[in-house]
Amino acid sequence: MASVLASLLFGAIYYLSPFLAPLDGEQIFGWRVLLTLPFTTALLLWWGEGAQVRLLAIRVCQRPVLALGLCLSAALLGVQLWLFMWAPLQGRALPVSLGYFLLPLALVLVGRLFYREQLGRAQLLASALAGAGVAHELLRVGGVSWETALVALGYPAYFMLRRFLRTEGLAGHWLDMLLLAPAALWFTLRAPTSWPLVADTPALPLLLPALGLVSAVALALYMAASRWLPMGLFGLLSYVEPVLLVLVALLLGESLAPGQWPTYAFVFAAVGVLVLEGVWRLWHTPQALAKTAP
């Protein structure tokens, strides 16, 4: 539920981005981080994880080299947040959406290779279908765009680093956002500064706090799902998000090239397999429990 709700909220953020004009992608990224941090802080305190921040600070004092890992974690997240806001405004929403289609497959491979996680038959079939879509795209264009590769490879590296650093909780995510705040402030202040634009555009003082609130909840749920679920299952559930992002990209006026349809057909087929497996489990699990009940 946390994973699916996060995907729905990310789709809403993607759709909201063009309505934040005249801000550009970098300015929106800056405002998003600055306005997400207060709401993330409130969630941190509400969930009672404030003590975890103190424990992280103690760990850094004991092992100062950990600070480098925390800065790298924040940088990996920051690049993804920037790209997410930049792409819809530059007509690059579809390449980023394709990256989110490839991301679940990358997470499945990470779970299998690095964490020895096992997949069921339906999950293996879904992975094979998604892999066929990846192969078709590679043959079609001779590679993938840098935006696609950045999403598909960057997020697995980020989640693996957080598990290695043992910062999977909300406290670790809050620290990522805190470390990103100086860069975010610079993006809002660099010439031409965006502060007068925000003050002079009637909708922005309302839309930007809404962006911060939705972003804080979405990211908190997404990070929680990455901690609660095995990497492979977390990846497969993440297929909900790229489906929504493609729909948003089409709503924003982008279109698929004729040669791209097989790529997306394979991936949508993979999503269909996962949906059918979920329905099958929901239908049969209560019956199986009833048969085994005393």
pLDDT, averaged across the chain: 84
**Measured distance CA(270)–CA(268) in Å, rounded:** 5
Q: Please tell me which residue, 280 or 161, carries the higher pLDDT value.
A: 161
Domain limits of the chain? 2-121+145-256
* Banded pLDDT at 16 (limits 50, 70, 90): confident
Contact 207, 20 (CB under 8 A): yes
Give one DSSP letter per residue of 39-67, joined into a string: HHHHHHHHTT-HHHHHHHHHHHHH-TTHH
pLDDT at 289 over 70: no
The reported pLDDT for the residue numbered 210 is 92
pLDDT tens by residue, 65-99: 999 999 999 999 999 989 988 887 787 877 887 78
Q: Which two tokens stand for residue 263?
A: 């790529």
The string of pLDDT tens digits covering residues 215-259 is 999 988 988 888 888 877 777 777 777 677 777 777 777 777 777
> Is the separation of the CB atoms in 266 and 132 below 8 Å?
yes
What are the tokens at 137?
């795209």
Q: How far apart are CA 254 and CA 14, in angstroms?
A: 13
CA 221 from centre of chain? 10
pLDDT in the model for residue 186: 95
User: What tokens does 68 get?
Assistant: 């480098």
Tokens of 82: 């920037």
Quote the pLDDT of residue 36. Answer: 93
Query: What is the distance between the alpha carbons of residues 93 and 100, in angstroms, rounded to a whole number?
Result: 11
Top pLDDT among 188 and 105 is at 188
pLDDT tens per residue, range 170-224: 899 999 999 999 999 999 998 788 999 898 888 899 999 999 999 999 988 988 8
Alpha carbons 227 and 241: distance in angstroms, whole number = 18
Q: Which residues have CB under 8 Å from 236's CB, separation 6+?
A: 104, 107, 108, 123, 126, 127, 274
Q: Encoding tokens for residue 50? A: 């404030």
